[in-house]
Amino acid sequence: MSKINVSTLRKMKNEGTKIGALTAYDASFSSLFEDNGVHVLLVGDSMGMVLQGGSDTLAVTNQDIAYHTKCVRAGAPNTFVIADMPFMTYSNVADTCKNAALLMRSGANMVKLEGGEWLYDSITALTQQGIPVCGHLGLTPQSVHVFGGFKIQGRELEQAQKMIEDAKALEKAGAQLLVLECIPSALAKQITDAVNIPTIGIGAGNQTDGQILVMHDLVGISAGYIPKFSKNFLLEAGTMPAAVKKYMTDVASGEFPAKEHEFN
């Protein structure tokens, strides 16, 4: 597999080729994912729940992400790797640059930050320093206590409009990718059409430029709970390699996510 970079992802958006992404946390699984054609791997702070057993993502540290980024990069030298910036590691521009630098040195191609227009200065500073940025809008798990739980975002007109404006602001600041989580599919399409950068959805319908799932959801081992927007591909495919291939095929064709995986 050829190395994937931001230009590859932008070209895929422009050509209408779907981007397939998964979370990854170690060398073995990242190698499996690269061998089966996954374009993007996210070293997610989701590890706080699926690896560490927490009820949210807030306990994950930058050192945790850096360690697992090194592991993922070792297993997937050619895949595009995004590293999450954990809770309160980007509360000001100076800390953002310092903490992002550690993740880039650990093997990331890009860092991901949760939030809207208030991140403008930090994203501008990161891109000026040569650090590519992925934005994250919608259900931002680090804000779970503000939301009062893991709830769908963007159903109200005012909130939806603000999200569209935030997406445009993130792109203007220099973000080159955007994750949209748990928002109505119609809103995800509006945002995808409003920006020139690729959008990757999770619980956002199939009209984004790509899809991402937590790898544990893909194989049905997320502590007995499978989110509405996910699907147990292992149950259908029988083996891990076949499950990953099926996921990538279904994303490419638009078969996944289907209507039953969307929010209205």
Annotated catalytic residue 181? yes
What single letter denotes the amino acid at residue 196? N
Q: Rounded to whole angstroms, how far apart are CA atoms 179 and 198?
A: 9
**pTM assigned to the model:** 0.96
Band of residue 145 on the pLDDT scale cut at 50, 70, 90: low
- The annotation status of 112 as a binding-site residue, yes or no, is yes
111: helix, coil or strand? strand
- The annotation status of 2 as a binding-site residue, yes or no, is no
Q: Are 132 and 110 in contact (CB under 8 A)?
A: yes
Q: Rounded to whole angstroms, how far apart are CA atoms 130 and 132?
A: 6
Q: Which of 34, 171, 181, 262 is catalytic?
A: 181
- The annotation status of 84 as a binding-site residue, yes or no, is yes
Asked if the model's pLDDT at residue 224 lies above 80, the reply is: no
Fold annotation for 6-261 = TIM Barrel (3.20.20)
Band of residue 150 on the pLDDT scale cut at 50, 70, 90: low
Q: Rounded mean pLDDT of 119-147?
A: 91
For the record, the structure tokens of 150 come out as: 């893991």
Peptide bond into 257 cis (omega under 30): yes
Domain segments of the chain as ranges: 6-261
Between 207 and 148, where is the model more confident? 207
- The annotation status of 255 as a binding-site residue, yes or no, is no
- The annotation status of 156 as a binding-site residue, yes or no, is no
Band of residue 218 on the pLDDT scale cut at 50, 70, 90: very high
Instruction: For residue 123, give the DSSP letter.
Output: H
pLDDT for the residue numbered 47: 96
pLDDT for the residue numbered 1: 76
Percent share of the chain, pLDDT over 90? 87
Asked if the model's pLDDT at residue 129 lies above 70, the reply is: yes
End-to-end CA distance of the chain: 37
Q: Rounded to whole angstroms, how far apart are CA atoms 95 and 145?
A: 23
Q: Bridge-partner residues for 138, per DSSP? A: 181
